[in-house]
Structure 1
Amino acid sequence: MDTQPEAGIHARESPYLERYVQVGIASGRVLSVSFPETPEGDDDHPLLDRIEEYLQGSADDFEDIDVALTMATDRRSVLETLRTVPYGENVTIRGLARMTPGVDPESADDCTRLRAALDENPAPLVVPDHRVSDGPSAAPPTVEQRLRSLEGL
């Protein structure tokens, strides 16, 4: 992100999702994205403006957003690769495995690690796990389906 807005927890209600979108920010980096029914923070953050526009149908891949992926390197590389899947396109688990350096799409262990990375994604929507057609999402199922629908997936 270009600026470093105030750190903290910021949330805004989304009529499209029928719940809130909540982001955790520190040092200008996204630490988390969640979808609570009851928010914890204020609604003043530029990322929430972009998410609101996205949820109203404006294509955005959020690739320029700095996300703090504090996890094991093999799982982080999966999520970093996932961020390159464009808006409106999807990929399978095996397709994502083929795209991710050091991951063998034929290895059951590698595919299990890939699924674990998706399941532990700290920032769904910004790290678009909803674009993996046959994988888990860290977002609630109703949110995942609405994001997929929004992008025509």
Structure 2
Amino acid sequence: MPQLVPNLWFDTQAHDAAEFYVSVFKNSRIVHVAHYGDAGPREAGSVLSVDFELDGQPFIGINGGPEFTFDEAVSFKVPCADQAEVDYYWDALLAGGGEESQCGWLKDRFGLSWQVVPDALGELLGDPDPERASRAMRAMLGMRKLDVAALRAAADG
């Protein structure tokens, strides 16, 4: 199977977004920047697209115009080993004008949605004791940034 490559449509901010994401995720880089030529439809020399990698996962950002914008129907999950990683990615992705949502979701300053999720969440929500799982779920539903200690305490009753 070929590797899937998410293509992110921006108005004019593809290069700025790629630089931002590369600064947030370790082992990431901008691979290639293409520019519009004389054929348009944008001004010649302006950025058409940016190929970049986030920890080995390729992405393309395209400056396609204002016709399409991001919404929560598509998001990227950031699995986090512990609370320190949750805190890092939450703060980094919100930097510069992002917006908190609920249950570990946020929008970055470009409007792209992310789910910053501790690995412990799956363990807690999938607990064989349905009461523990239910308590963890109720706790999660009341949170913005997920708090591993608070989720565990809720599960424990």
Please confirm whether the aligned pair reaches a TM-score higher than 0.5, indicating the same fold.
no
Q: Whose RCO is larger (CA < 8 A, sep 6+)?
A: 1
Pair member with larger Rg: 2
Tell me the TM-score normalized by structure 1. Answer: 0.25
TM-score, scaled to structure 2: 0.25
